[in-house]
Amino acid sequence: MMYTVLPDGSPVPQGIALYAPPPPLPNNSRPLTPGTVVYGPPPAGAPMVYGPPPPNFSIPFIPMGVLHCNVPEHHNLENEVSRLEDIMQHLKSKKREERWMRASKRQSEKEMEELHHNIDDLLQEKKSLECEVEELHRTVQKRQQQKDFIDGNVESLMTELEIEKSLKHHEDIVDEIECIEKTLLKRRSELREADQLLAEAESELSCTKEKTKNAVEKFTDAKRSLLQTESDAEELERRAQETAVNLVKADQQLRSLQADAKDLEQHKIKQEEILKEINKIVAAKDSDFQCLSKKKEKLTEELQKLQKDTEMAERNEDHHLQVLKESEVLLQAKRAELEKLKSQVTSQQQEMAVLDRQLGHKKEELHLLQGSMVQAKADLQEALRLGETEVTEKCNHIREVKSLLEELSFQKGELNVQISERKTQLTLIKQEIEKEEENLQVVLRQMSKHKTELKNILDMLQLENHELQGLKLQHDQRVSELEKTQVAVLEEKLELENLQQISQQQKGEIEWQKQLLERDKREIERMTAESRALQSCVECLSKEKEDLQEKCDIWEKKLAQTKRVLAAAEENSKMEQSNLEKLELNVRKLQQELDQLNRDKLSLHNDISAMQQQLQEKREAVNSLQEELANVQDHLNLAKQDLLHTTKHQDVLLSEQTRLQKDISEWANRFEDCQKEEETKQQQLQVLQNEIEENKLKLAQQEMMFQRLQKERESEESKLETSKVTLKEQQHQLEKELTDQKSKLDQVLSKVLAAEERVRTLQEEERWCESLEKTLSQTKRQLSEREQQLVEKSGELLALQKEADSMRADFSLLRNQFLTERKKAEKQVASLKEALKIQRSQLEKNLLQAKRAELEKLKSQVTSQQQEMAVLDRQLGHKKEELHLLQGSMVQAKADLQEALRLGETEVTEKCNHIREVKSLLEELSFQKGELNVQISERKTQLTLIKQEI
């Protein structure tokens, strides 16, 4: 390619051509053919070669279809005009999507008016020149007439002709200077406008670059957030399925726990019946022992009477011995036998004393046993009462867990519905984002095109600046040459002052526009600050939602712990059922032993009654002996028979005494066994009491945990309420701000920076959408944390179930102990069972009520969370609607910009047409100038002819 200007702006010297590669062209333009001439400098950094021009080209290089001025100094100006026309055509194709068309339209209208004024001035000057020419003709005619009358005045006429020629030449020079100055002023104004437009285009390019970068980053963030939301939705579905499985398991566990609770209530009823039977047996034993003590006293009295009777009999015998010495020989055997009887009686008395002592010991042991039984009874009652309270609490807890599970199942359904809705919303959002990405790609392509076009415009403007500098140098030279024409210069100065005033007015308008732009920028900054404040509020809300999610996770963990405790309670209930069965066996055994003891008591009573009868018989025998002793002499044979009978009775009594001693030893062994059993039972009761105390402590801890959880729930509810209030306030503020923004956007649409503000609002709203998506992810995290809390509660339930299993084991031990006693008190057990059934029904009612209350609480929490989710969904819907509105506004802004570009194109075409008209006028003026020159030359020839004639 061949260029006409050096890179520094100076023209290429005559006879030399500048060769360089072609300049960068826009995408839509055609490539330049090699060998074409570019009227301007080569591109920056391109390699250059200096050489002779081709033979086909003329020097200077003037394109085809350009009119040539007769003045040799104007050839460069015509080249510049042609080059500027090419530049204007190039700018016409490049200035379609710029926002300064209205200002350019106004300026073009002003320029058109100025050009019309200039044309009018030129026409007036032309008329004045014609008038002057006519006056010159008149003067010439007058001079000729004077020449006819006057001879010898040829020299004066020649001087006048020279003066006229100089005046004409001066007028021609003045006209040329005026044209040059007008063209210079126009070029200066055009260059200023081009500089302003370039500065605005550069600023807009930088802003659009930043906006495109921000938009690309935001869309990437939106894609990431969408992927995160999809993953969160999948996790929610998976967790919902897990919760459904856990709900089914929990239902099964609740049913098993209910069965265990029923069994525990039956066991409780049985234990109460067993205790009642034991109390009755103890009372019967006390009455039996009292009867035995009374019988013992009676026997001691009878023995004393017998001793007295024996003493009286001895005295009577001594008296009879003294009286009946003759019967001593006969009665020696009887005396020996009586001495044996005495020894036996003494031994029996000693044995009775031993028995008395043993009876005293047994009474003391019975009193101790009664006290221990009373204490054991009280301990058992306390243990049963604690067990009943624990059972009621566990039943309540089970009901609460059941209600919680039902609410969770309901929540699961609602969450599934919400997830499906969110999926549909996500698909719609994805489609919208894809559309916006396509639009942004189109905008980026257009921006790249504008960028390249603006770079080319900058290069062309630089070339024009260099050319204008050359023109300024030429103008300075011309001013130095035209110092003689001061009057014309003063007039031109006045015109320049007018132009300066116009430029100052334009500057004032530009400054006013700058002030408007600054105001708009301030408003934009204020909007950005408000958006930042809103973002900070949204971040605070997201933090609060994260806290809520953590609390939900804690609740889910607690639910898992409660489920574990329920499982443990079920196991404990099973163990307790087995223990109760063992206790029932022990109770039956004890009842059998008590029956045996009662039978032994009856046998003892029978033996005592037999002994009393025997003692009465002995008394009768003693009386008979006294009567016989009174009648010894008469009835010795009868006395012998009576003695034999008494000896037989004594043998029977001795055998009975031995048998009684054996029975007493057996009873003593039995009492020792009972004492050992009581000691073991007391130890077991102490163990049970310790376990009950531990359970009480655990229950107290659990109550503290429940209270703390309730407080946390209340605090969470208060926080949720505050967050709701803040969200509502923010919604109102956002609505107000949106209305303000809409009004401002409507106002700014008429301005140049409407698209920028809308893009910024879109960015802010996209950030807000991102924050909302973050809040959604945080709410999902909170739901997952709630699920973890439920899992923890199920774990607590399992722990409670384990504790119930331990209690069941303890109850199984008690059952094994009381099974022996259960057989003896079946009737009482039946009555106790009925009472326990009633209590069980009451406990079940209480548990169901407690569970319902807890379920209602959880339902209220879930409903509050659902309401929050609904509020968030509504906010998202509002934001989506706002995004749609903003997209519509962007589309409208694009349409407005396209209309503005179309108007700018029309204005450019009008300007080009106006420039062509001006060119045609200039051509006409140049043609008229040529005609005037021809006329002047003709007049000169005429004058020369006149001179010759003279």
pLDDT at position 287 is 74
The mean pLDDT value for 641-665 works out to 66
Q: Residue 566, CB half-sphere, CA atoms under 13 Å: how many?
A: 30
Other beta carbons less than 10 A from residue 271's beta carbon: 26
Considering only residues 801 and 441, tell me which one the structure prediction assigns the higher pLDDT.
441
Residue 612 clears pLDDT 70, i.e. is over it = no
Nearest to 4 by CA among 55, 39, 53: 39
Residue 469 clears pLDDT 50, i.e. is over it = yes
Other beta carbons less than 10 A from residue 888's beta carbon: 10
Quote the strand ranges of 483-538, DSSP E: none
Q: How far is CA 649 from CA 604, 611, 644, 862, 938, in A?
A: 19, 11, 9, 94, 203
Cα 711 to Cα 551: distance, rounded to the nearest angstrom: 12
Nearest to 190 by CA among 76, 75, 108: 108
pLDDT at position 63 is 42
pLDDT at position 341 is 67
Other beta carbons less than 10 A from residue 727's beta carbon: 20
Residue 193 clears pLDDT 60, i.e. is over it = yes
Cα 184 to Cα 476: distance, rounded to the nearest angstrom: 12
Q: Is 603 helix (H, G, I), strand (E, B) or coil?
A: helix
For 98-108, b/e burial (b = at least 16 CB within 10 A) is: bbbbebbbebb
Residue 112 clears pLDDT 50, i.e. is over it = yes
Residue 157 lies in a domain: no
How many angstroms from the chain centroid is the CA of residue 528? 25
What single-letter amino acid sits at 738? L
Please give the DSSP secondary-structure letter assigned to residue 60: S
Q: Is 53 helix (H, G, I), strand (E, B) or coil?
A: coil
Please, which residues have CB within 8 angstroms of residue 807's CB and are 6 or more apart in sequence? 387, 390, 572, 575, 576, 691, 695
Say how many domains are in the chain: 2
What single-letter amino acid sits at 755? A
The mean pLDDT value for 531-543 works out to 67
Joined together, the tokens standing for residue 434 give: 């894809």
What single-letter amino acid sits at 150? I
pLDDT range class, residue 241, cuts 50, 70, 90: confident
Out of 542-556, 583-597, 662-676, 780-794, pick the least confident: 780-794
Residue 153 clears pLDDT 60, i.e. is over it = no
Out of 55-64, 464-473, 680-689, 761-770, pick the least confident: 55-64
Considering only residues 855 and 721, tell me which one the structure prediction assigns the higher pLDDT.
721
37-38 vs 2-3, strand pairing mode: parallel
* 559 within 8 A of 745, measured Cβ to Cβ: no
Q: Is 96 helix (H, G, I), strand (E, B) or coil?
A: coil
The mean pLDDT value for 790-818 works out to 62
Residue 238 clears pLDDT 70, i.e. is over it = yes
Residue 741 clears pLDDT 50, i.e. is over it = yes
Residue 321 clears pLDDT 50, i.e. is over it = yes
Nearest to 929 by CA among 171, 26, 230: 171
pLDDT range class, residue 456, cuts 50, 70, 90: confident
pLDDT at position 83 is 72
Residue 339 lies in a domain: yes
Q: Is 58 helix (H, G, I), strand (E, B) or coil?
A: coil
Which of 68, 91, 114 marks a domain boundary?
A: 91
Please, which residues have CB within 8 angstroms of residue 257's CB and are 6 or more apart in sequence? 394, 398, 566, 569, 570, 573, 801
Nearest to 16 by CA among 52, 42, 49: 52
Nearest to 670 by CA among 264, 294, 369: 369
Joined together, the tokens standing for residue 746 give: 């409507």
Residue 445 lies in a domain: no
pLDDT at position 62 is 44
Residue 296 lies in a domain: yes
What single-letter amino acid sits at 883? L
pLDDT at position 380 is 64
The mean pLDDT value for 479-502 works out to 65
Q: Is 52 helix (H, G, I), strand (E, B) or coil?
A: coil
Q: Is 47 helix (H, G, I), strand (E, B) or coil?
A: coil
Angle at which helix 328-481 crosses helix 826-949, to 10 degrees, equals 0
Other beta carbons less than 10 A from residue 666's beta carbon: 11
Which percentage of the chain shows pLDDT scores above 90? 0
Cα 733 to Cα 880: distance, rounded to the nearest angstrom: 17
The mean pLDDT value for 236-241 works out to 70
Backbone angles phi, psi at 38, to 5 degrees: -105, 120
Owning domain of residue 12: 1-91
pLDDT at position 68 is 43
Which of 277-281, 730-734, 749-753, 844-848 has the highest mean predicted lDDT (pLDDT)? 277-281
Cα 805 to Cα 690: distance, rounded to the nearest angstrom: 16
Residue 185 clears pLDDT 70, i.e. is over it = yes
The mean pLDDT value for 555-577 works out to 67
The mean pLDDT value for 735-763 works out to 61
The mean pLDDT value for 604-617 works out to 66
Q: Over the stretch 27-82, which tens digit does the pLDDT of each residue have? A: 555 666 666 777 677 777 777 766 666 665 554 444 434 444 555 555 566 666 66
* 13 within 8 A of 50, measured Cβ to Cβ: no
Across all residues in the chain, what is the average pLDDT? 67
Long-range contacts formed by 135-144: CB under 8 A, 24+ apart: 136/164, 136/939, 137/939, 140/939, 140/943, 144/946
pLDDT at position 65 is 41
Cα 291 to Cα 483: distance, rounded to the nearest angstrom: 164
What single-letter amino acid sits at 836? L
pLDDT at position 611 is 63
Residue 769 clears pLDDT 70, i.e. is over it = no
Joined together, the tokens standing for residue 610 give: 């037999």
Handedness of CA 152, 153, 155, 157 (dihedral sign): negative
Residue 117 lies in a domain: no
Nearest to 115 by CA among 715, 920, 672: 920
pLDDT at position 548 is 65
Joined together, the tokens standing for residue 192 give: 């200023």
The mean pLDDT value for 421-442 works out to 73
pLDDT at position 66 is 43
Cα 523 to Cα 419: distance, rounded to the nearest angstrom: 40
Residue 858 lies in a domain: yes
Q: pTM to 2 decimals?
A: 0.19
Give CA angle at 458 (457, 463), nearest 5°.
Answer: 95
Residue 390 lies in a domain: yes
DSSP string, 712-769: HHHHHHHHHHHHHHHHHHHHHHHHHHHHHHHHHHHHHHTSTTHHHHHHHHHHHHHHHH
Which of 91, 108, 124 marks a domain boundary?
A: 91
How many angstroms from the chain centroid is the CA of residue 715? 18
Joined together, the tokens standing for residue 710 give: 């309730």
Which of 31, 57, 91 marks a domain boundary?
A: 91
Peptide bond into 60 cis (omega under 30): yes
Residue 148 lies in a domain: no
pLDDT at position 59 is 47
- Region of residue 219 (left: phi > 0; alpha: psi -120 to 50; beta: else): alpha
DSSP string, 561-596: HHHHHHHHHHHHHHHHHHHHHHHHHHHHHHHHHHHH
